[in-house]
Chain A
Amino acid sequence: MTTNTSMSSFIQKTSAIQKWSRRFFMAAAGSLAISAAAGLPAFAQDAEWQKVVEAGKKEGKLILYTALVGQPSTKQIAAAFTKEYGIEVEILEARASEIRERVRVEQAAGRFAADVMFTSEGQTMLYDKEDKSVDPLPVTPNSQKIGDKFKLKVPMASVMTIPYGIMINTGLVKPADEPKSWKDIADPKWQGKILSDDPRAIGAGYLWFFSTYDKIGEDYVKKVATQKLVFTRDQRESQRRTARGEYSIYMPVIMTDFSDLKGLPVKFIIPEEGVPYVLYGNVMLKKAPHPNAAKLYLDFMQGPVVQKIYAGLGYGPVLPGMTDGLPADVKAISEAKLYGTTDTTRQNEMLAKSKDIFK
């Protein structure tokens, strides 16, 4: 699937999914070939889409910018896309604010270099409203099939959700004491034992703050603030610190990281209330140099091949029915109830609140 063997462990982990994906891919390609060979009358829409497919193939190339840094799945998906359409994908990765500024300044200088940006719902709102750097979404075959709650007002073609939960050190937390819900975090027995992503800055900690403040209430958040939380801004290193026994609990943790930490004395807990999440998807950048390839990519990302890849890693798919046959632990995370996410329009207000509560 890929020449990058740094992904070998990842590939092993997801081999079952890939087999499935390959089977699906073969079946889909097969049926497409059969229907084409049979010369069935295509609907006008299909004919339109076929034109996009042909034009995209002619363009032959796609420039993808992504704010999801360092994920091997990005390359895996790009390879699958190339296999499907013969379109090469060039990927540029940088953190959210960096890549957004690059796009903004590139466009301001008349350099329309990128086709698609993979980013979050919140960022899309900024791309759209402030930078005006995105085009309206195209209607593609798969865009109709995704779950209704993922059809957004902002011009982003939803792809998957990143779920956040609680991580504990199993050497320090007895099974009976394990926190089961977000409310348990406020229990005084955890005072000084919680490592937390910083809720005073945009990031995972703030996502937790935003959703629990809205759903449980200010009193709860204030109670957690008295727990002497220790703040950090490095997700992966914080997981390791907790695994090494510096803290009993780390929250909120990216649930999909559970597979990378297998073998360490840690447990990932899906809170009873559900998982705060970040919705990721693709936007079409203005004056994309390869607009048809971009449309194909947007569609491909919402199709079953990619949706299965993400579900197999524990992300929440936007296309229903993608978690069948997954191992139980992955399935539980992938299907975890979505609890809440942030609202970009309220960010200044909520950041100020968080800074006030977590001085």
Chain B
Amino acid sequence: MTIIHNRPLDDIAETAPTIAGNAFTRAFSGGSLWRLIGMLVLILILGFLTIYPLAMLLYGSLHSTPPGMAGEFNLNGYRSIMTTQNLIVLANTVGISLAKTIPSLTIAVFLAWIVARTDTPFRGTLEVLITLPFFIPPILTAMAWGMLANPQVGVINMVWRWLTGGTDSLVNIYSYGGVIWHMCQYSIPFLFLFMVDAFRAMDPSLEESSRMCGASRWTTFRKITLLLMLPVLTSSFMLSFIKGIETFESALFFGLPAGIKVITTDIYESINHRATPDYQYATSLSFAIMGLMFLLVIWQWWMLRGKSFQTVTGKGFRPSVMELGPWRWVTFAFCVLFFFITVVLPIGQLMLGSFFRFFGFYTYDMLTLEHYRNVFANSEFWRAVRNTMVLGLLGATATMALGAVVAYISVRTRWRGRNLIDSMAWLPWMMPGMVLGVGFLWAFAMLPGPIPIYGTIWALLLAYIALGTPVSVRVMTGAYHQLSYDLEECSRVHGATWVQTMWRIMVALAWPAFAVGWVLTFFGIMRELSASILLYSVGSETLAVVLMKLWANGNAEQVSVIGLMMMLLVIVFRWVQLSFIKARISKL
């Protein structure tokens, strides 16, 4: 099996009639006026959500003072980042990000394959359980791992010493390994969620053909499964690698005590821990990183250009799974081990700790339900839950709708401007969250007075849509890459309107991906703090803001209670979602 050139798409483009008209119409050639208007509206929306805040940040990087203050344009920000020290920190950051992305991607691919393509027992339950840590605020898992794996009195090291009778410690979380491990805790479930439906939507006949031609399971996996997954894999790699460059909590929590520096801790320090926040430095550094990241996106375009990865075609396919025989218990054991290490250990700590007065002090007289009582009786918490639910439901739906449209145009049409909207949708992912948050603050506060966005819940909603768009576009791009064009054509030939085709084919067949993207976006909104803290107004506190306040005041146990409740919500969401997917697949 080789990757084939995308003939149908090229044919469409080559045979499309040239449209006469003005330069603007020609720029979006091949479309009606409505298409042109639609495209312009889309560019305007994305422009407002992504370009506008970034433009404010760019201004900040080129101006001696932030927007609204007298100053002068200069390149001091860019000059000040050109130091050997920063180059070393950059190399360090790239190294750490690669060191976490490669194993994360490998494990996530393996897990996705196990869950979606094999007959491993209990895979349905495992699918929900192994993703749980992703939905917990990073600070909580950091605290849990701090308790489990600190060299002095960490539980793992105590058990190790008890077993060996020695005094050495087995693991030290305050190290490079610790930073990378804590990042993996988030990237593996994220990547798994991102990829699992792509694995599920694959026509197994391709794999079967390969097996019938004499290829081994491993060769089939490598040459068919993985290769067909190339758009999803490259997207996953980039999302994860870029996020790795921008990750902050792990480095601050576990890296700082070990003297490990990354770019984001430097940016954080320049905003929060200098005599005066140096926004020019922070934004210049962020733009420099962004420039480097964009090279990666170009690399992905180049790699996927003109190739087809369609696996969902008009032919009916039987979404069968590979029968592993006795090996299914090995894959099962792998999942259980993964579940035990990444979920049971840290979440168990949080659960246990939530019933005691203090984390780590598990004596009978410390047992209490006080933390649960305090959380349930906290009116601010409930108000934040209401706000976050509204923002999450609206935000995730709007983000996914926008993402689906952008991905559709970018993958399934030859419209002019499709690359532009695709790259616009990437932008927010490439700017560290804490800097982008400042960008939104500047952008929304500086809008003319009559536009009532700043200081309202709309500011949060718009920021969340912008922040979620990269993931939503990537998720939907992966899904649309897999859908064959004949499905659409077939629908149109049979007299369906464009809207009906969209609904029946593009939405109905891509909706499992839509649902996963929705969950990712929803919980992204639930956890988002950098922009929220700068945009929330009195009465529109979000859960992340309440968690931050509780954490800042030393109420780690109450934060855990809320974290565990968030996790319960995930289990419910995922269970509902997976039940629907199963119901649909059985109908296909």
**What are 9 contact pairs spanning A and B, CB under 8 A?**
A69-B552, A98-B534, A111-B445, A130-B276, A203-B273, A239-B554, A241-B150, A243-B360, A246-B150
Question: Which candidate, B28-36, B251-259, B309-317, is the interface stretch facing chain A?
Answer: B251-259
Q: What is the CA–CA distance of A203 and B552 in the complex, to the nearest angstrom?
A: 14
Closest residue on chain B to residue A349 by CB atoms: B275
Collect the chain B residues with CB atoms within 8 Å of residue A5's CB.
Answer: 373-374, 377-378
B538 contacts A91, CB within 8 Å? yes
B360 contact from A113, A126, A234, A240, Cβ within 8 A: A240
Q: List, in ascending order, chain B residues with CB within 8 A of A104's CB.
A: 66, 68-69
| Contact residues in A for B438 (Cβ distance below 8 Å) | 101
Q: Closest residue to B446 on the A side, CB-wise?
A: A109
- Nearest first, the 9 closest Cβ-Cβ pairs linking A and B are A108-B68, A201-B273, A70-B553, A347-B275, A236-B554, A5-B377, A70-B549, A70-B552, A90-B538
- On whether the beta carbons of A201 and B552 are closer than 8 Å, the reply is no
Q: Are B357 and A245 in contact (CB under 8 A)?
A: no
| Chain B residues whose C-beta falls within 8 Å of the C-beta of A232 in the assembled complex | 256-257
A293 CB, min distance to chain B CBs, angstroms: 15
B496: interface (CB < 8 Å): no
Q: Which of B147, B366, B533, B538 contacts A63 (CB 8 A)?
A: B538
**Chain A residue nearest in CB terms to B363:** A263
A6-B554 in contact given A105-B442, A231-B256, A237-B146 (Cβ < 8 Å): no
Q: Which of B274, B379, B449, B455 contacts A113 (CB 8 A)?
A: B455
What's the Cα separation between A344 and B143 when bound, in Å?
33
Query: Are the CB atoms of A348 and B275 closer together than 8 Å?
Result: yes
In the complex, A246 Cα to B148 Cα: how many Å? 12
Q: Does A191 contact B (CB under 8 A)?
A: no
Contact with A along B556-575 (1 / 0, CB 8 A): 10100000000000000000
Write the chain B residue with the least CB distance to A91: B538
Closest residue of chain B to A65, judged by CB?
A: B538
Most buried by A among B275, B360, B548: B275
Known: A6-B378, A70-B549, A247-B152. A233 touches B256 (CB 8 A): yes
Is there a chain A Cβ closer than 8 Å to B393's Cβ? Answer: no
| Contact, CB under 8 Å: B554 / A105 | no
A residues engaging B (CB < 8 A)? 3-6, 8-9, 63, 69-72, 90-98, 100-102, 104-111, 113, 126, 130-131, 198, 201-203, 230-237, 239-241, 243-247, 257, 260-261, 263-264, 344, 347-348, 351
Instruction: Name B448's closest neighbour in chain A (CB-CB).
Output: A109
Asked if B361 is at the interface of the complex by the 8 Å CB criterion, the answer is yes
B350-385 CB mask vs A (1 if < 8 Å, else 0) is 000000011111000010001001110111110000
Please name all residues of chain A whose beta carbon is closer than 8 Å to the beta carbon of B455 when the two chains form the complex.
111, 113
B residues sitting closer than 8 Å to A (CB atoms) are 66-69, 143, 146-147, 150, 152-153, 174, 252-253, 256-257, 269, 271-277, 357-361, 366, 370, 373-375, 377-381, 438, 441-442, 445-447, 449, 454-455, 533-534, 536-539, 545, 548-556, 558
- Distance of A243 Cα from B147 Cα, bound (Å): 12
Residue of B nearest to A359 (CB): B259
CA–CA, A101 and B534, complex, Å: 9
What are the residues of chain B within 8 A of A344 when measuring CB–CB?
275
Q: Please determine whether A105 and B558 come into contact, CB atoms closer than 8 angstroms.
A: no
CA distance A290 to B226 in the complex (A): 64
Cβ contact within 8 Å between B445 and A105: yes
Query: Which chain A residue lies CB-closest to B553?
Result: A70
B380 CB contact (under 8 Å) in A4, A201, A231: A4
Interchain CA distance A243-B438 in the complex, whole Å: 36
A113: chain B residues at CB < 8 Å are 455
B277 touches A97 (CB 8 A): yes
Cβ–Cβ < 8 Å partners of A264 in chain B = 358, 361
Complex-state Cα separation, A90 to B358, whole angstroms: 32
Cβ-defined contact, B358 with A95, below 8 A = no
Residues in chain B near residue A97, CB distance under 8 A: 271-272, 277
Residue of B nearest to A106 (CB): B445
Closest to A206 in B: B273
A101 to B278, CA, bound (A): 11
CA distance A203 to B274 in the complex (A): 10
Which one, A109, A110, A236, A244, contacts B147 given CB within 8 A? A244
| Alpha-carbon separation in the docked complex, A237 to B66 (Å) | 33
Bound: A231/B66 CA distance, A:
31
Taking CB atoms, residues of chain B closer than 8 Å to A69 are 548-549, 552-553
A240 in contact with B252 (CB, 8 Å):
no
- Smallest CB gap from B438: residue in A: A101
B534 touches A102 (CB 8 A): yes
- Contact of A70 (CB < 8 Å), options: B147, B449, B551: B551
* A98→B68 contact, CB < 8 A: no
A92 and B537 form a contact (CB under 8 A): yes
Q: Which of A8, A95, A108, A201 contacts B269 (CB 8 A)?
A: A201
A-side contacts of B533, CB under 8 Å: 94-95, 98
Contacts A8-B374, A96-B272, A202-B275 known; 17 new A-B pairs at CB < 8 A: A4-B378, A6-B558, A9-B374, A70-B552, A92-B538, A93-B545, A95-B533, A97-B277, A100-B277, A109-B454, A231-B256, A236-B554, A243-B361, A244-B147, A244-B153, A257-B554, A260-B554
- Indicate whether A234 sits within 8 Å of B253 (C-beta atoms), given known contacts A72-B553, A97-B272: yes
In the bound complex, what is the Cα–Cα distance between A324 and B549 (angstroms)?
A: 31
Q: Report whether B358 and A263 are in contact in the complex, using a CB–CB cutoff of 8 Å.
A: yes
Contact A198 B256 (CB under 8 A): yes
The answer for the CA separation of A72 and B555 in the assembled complex, in Å, is 11
Q: Chain B residues near A98 (CB, 8 Å)? A: 533-534
Q: Bound state CA distance, A245 and B157, in angstroms?
A: 13
Check B358 against A109 for contact (C-beta < 8 Å). Answer: no
- Which residues of the other chain, A, contact B150 by a CB distance below 8 angstroms? 241, 246
Contacts of A247 in B (CB 8 A): 152
Q: Given contacts A198-B256, A244-B360, is CB(A9)–CB(B370) below 8 Å?
A: yes
In angstroms, Cα B455 to Cα A63, docked, is 13
Name the residue on A nearest B146 (C-beta). Answer: A241
Complex: A264 Cα to B269 Cα, angstroms: 32
Report the nearest B residue to A93, measured CB to CB.
B549
Q: Which residues of A contact B539 (CB under 8 A)?
A: 90
Tell me the bound Cα distance from A348 to B374 in angstroms. Answer: 42
Task: Flag if B257 contacts A230 (CB, 8 Å).
Answer: yes
Q: A236 to B373, Cβ gap below 8 A?
A: no
Q: Min CB distance, B20 to chain A, in Å?
A: 46
Contacts of A105 in B (CB 8 A): 66-68, 441-442, 445-446
The answer to whether A108 touches B69 (Cβ under 8 A) is yes
Our pick among B152, B549, B554 for the contact of A246 (Cβ within 8 Å) is B152
Given contacts A98-B534, A241-B150, contact A351 B374 (CB under 8 A): no
Please, which residue of chain B has its CB at the minimum distance from the CB of A70?
A: B553
Query: Which residues does chain A contribute within 8 Å of B553, judged by CB atoms?
Result: 69-72, 236
Q: What residue of chain A has the Cβ atom nearest to residue B150's Cβ? A: A246
In this complex, the member of A63, A93, A351 whose beta carbon has the largest number of chain B beta carbons within 10 angstroms is A93
Closest CB in chain A relative to B301 CB, distance in Å: 36
